[in-house]
């Protein structure tokens, strides 16, 4: 079952399955590569493309957020529960539904800023404008 999918600017596509397989397709829909990103233990899955100029994949799964290159090499990892999205400065914003917070992490995994939402509000996805 497909959990997330993106179409790349060059017409190629990438999708992620529930069992953690990341598949790349050419513009015609033919598989050109794949790697195992790991299973999703808990919570929503999110895949965000274009985190950096190298066109990496940011994948949120269970209690971790990882950045992969297109061959499957881990470029960055944070042991956090939530959905991560890319920022223009290379940081990662993670929405923590359970704690009702949105946190930005730098490349070293340190907290840059954190925002606490009011009771009754839970962030699913947060993106930089």
Taking alpha carbons only, the member of 103, 93, 82, 100 closest to residue 129 is 93
pLDDT band of 74, cuts 50, 70, 90: very high
Edge-to-edge strands, sheet with 46-49: 46-49, 57-61, 64-68, 74-78
Taking alpha carbons only, the member of 121, 124, 105, 110 closest to residue 51 is 105
Q: Are 58 and 92 in contact (CB under 8 A)?
A: yes
pLDDT of residue 116: 96
Structure-block tokens of residue 110: 């340190």
pLDDT of residue 52: 52
- Give pTM, 2 decimals: 0.81
Domain boundaries in the chain? 2-116
pLDDT of residue 41: 59
pLDDT tens-digit map of 30-55: 999 999 988 765 555 577 754 455 67
Tell me which CATH code domain 2-116 carries: 2.40.128.630
């Amino acid at each position: 079952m497909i959990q997330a999918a993106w179409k790349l600017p060059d017409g190629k596509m990438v999708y992620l399955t529930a069992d953690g397989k990341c598949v790349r397709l050419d513009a015609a829909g033919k598989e050109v590569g794949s790697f195992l990103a790991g299973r999703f233990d808990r919570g929503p899955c999110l895949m965000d493309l274009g985190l950096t100029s190298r066109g990496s994949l940011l994948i949120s799964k269970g209690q971790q957020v990882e950045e992969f290159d297109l061959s499957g090499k881990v470029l960055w990892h944070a042991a956090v529960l939530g959905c991560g999205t890319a920022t223009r400065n290379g940081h990662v914003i993670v929405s923590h539904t359970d704690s009702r917070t949105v946190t930005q992490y730098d490349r070293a995994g340190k907290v840059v800023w954190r925002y606490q939402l009011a009771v009754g509000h839970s962030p699913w996805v947060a993106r930089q404008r």
